[in-house]
Structure 1
Amino acid sequence: MQWRGRRGSRNIQDRRRSGGGGLAVGGAGGLGVLAIVVVGYFLGVDLTPLLGGSDGAVQTGAQRELTQDEEEAGQFVSVVLADTEQVWGQVFPEQLNATYQPPVLVLFSGRTSSACGVAGSATGPFYCPPDQQVYLDTDFFVTLQQQLGAGGDFAAAYVVAHEVAHHVQNLTGTLGEANRVRGQVGEAQSNAISVRIELQADCYAGLWARLAEDRLGVIERGDIAEAMNAASRIGDDTLQRQSGQVVRPDSFTHGTSEQRQRWFARGYEEPLMANCDTFSAERL
């Protein structure tokens, strides 16, 4: 992805200098420091199956300087966020006859507060509907590449685009209605609705990727393959197998690897929001 030297977003709130420390994880197959996502309002990349029965403690530090890698990761996220603002700023009037209001993206390290509760290093990327903010510990990109095998800058861009897609769902009312219904049904039905939420976000991420390619010219050879690989690596079935668990479809909250790839591809191949209606789809 062509991102160096390009314009970044002003909607970035960097709290990383006031954080530090991490999550010490044991008994998880030697994964070491691992970012996970809390299931519930935290709609992100669910890596909880990899933890098994491990325990750990979040530690926070005082004011600190950012490393060069952290500085670069922050710049990268800022550019990707700016690209989402430009694309969705065009899509909303074109396809919805509405105005897009971008989210604020909060970068943190260690732990931070949100309207959804306290987010720690044990929390991967997530979108919080009450404050309409995306939260991201940039150490998650290291986990994505080293522990999950989803390397490449566009794999990381896909993660950001997926979380911004939850904001799009919130603006259109889809997320609020889906979560309202989830609160009224049993666990299995709630999980099934969550899968539809997540697959639609994958489809929107694919839509963004296509328009970033067509209109911004920032996509390079191999980028889409990186995103597809990332989608495969974070499928519920793949994560459960990797953790040594029995695959339990009724416990899925994000969709299988095949589903996540297919819905991303659908958004990329036909970049219309109407084509991303997972809630009306008979087959996911």
Structure 2
Amino acid sequence: MATPLMTTLVVFPLLQGIASGLRVTKVEVPRYLIVGQRANLRCHLALEGEVLYSLKWWKDGKQFYQYIPQNDPPAVVFTVPGITINPARSGLNEVELLDVQTSSSGNYRCEVVAEAPRFKTDFMAANMTIVDTPDTKPRVTGLEPAYRDGETIALNCTSLRSRPPASLTWSLNGQEIPSESLVTYPPTTEGDPALHTSTLGLKLKARTNLFTDGTLELRCSATVHAYEWTTDVSVHLDNVTYSQPHHLPTLQLSDAASPSPQHGAILLISFLTLCLCRRS
């Protein structure tokens, strides 16, 4: 009987020690945002009998916000590149960032410290990535009005100026086109901060079995993290039918116009007689 009782007395204090004390239970940071949007950072706490001394927010190891409840004012903002705080919507449990830029991407950490004498510290972090979206939907170039069976459909799909570069795919009638029919190009870069332009080519044989009612549906998709833009194009099959070549009839003389053998003999005799008369 002594063994189970001793086990209970040993395990219970250990569990109580693990669960007690100030701790961060959850950090909410947007995984992806578009340039110019707002970001709401939330830090959820469990006091567990402790008194909070301070809450701090860090980006990539640099502190940009501090909240100490007993101070007046309780909130202090520090200058960090890519961080613009909205004081009106920032407090203990939430901090709002305005007009996020690509420089706002990084690792965000919420850190809490308990009052003396323990000064227990806990933290939790999450990443946020800011996307600079393409200027427009993907552009498809090279499309001809119609293609004959066996001709090559050669198209390019281009996604302009994004950060990071867009990932491009081609699909045919809803099915992704395999890599052997694709032409890859390296992305180009311009500006500061750098923006990237991506291009993916397509070379596909026009086969009648690919067309439904003479039309083939192609889609180019540009993806930047969780965001996607698409452009659809319709390819038409040339429905010209070829007829048999027309031959001109061979011209023939009719019976009435055909010279008879007798007629030819008469002409020959007349010619010879004329020659003899000129000699005499």
TM-score, length basis structure 2: 0.21
Give the structure with the higher percent strand. 2
TM-score (norm: length of structure 1): 0.20
Structure (1 or 2) with the larger CA radius of gyration = 2
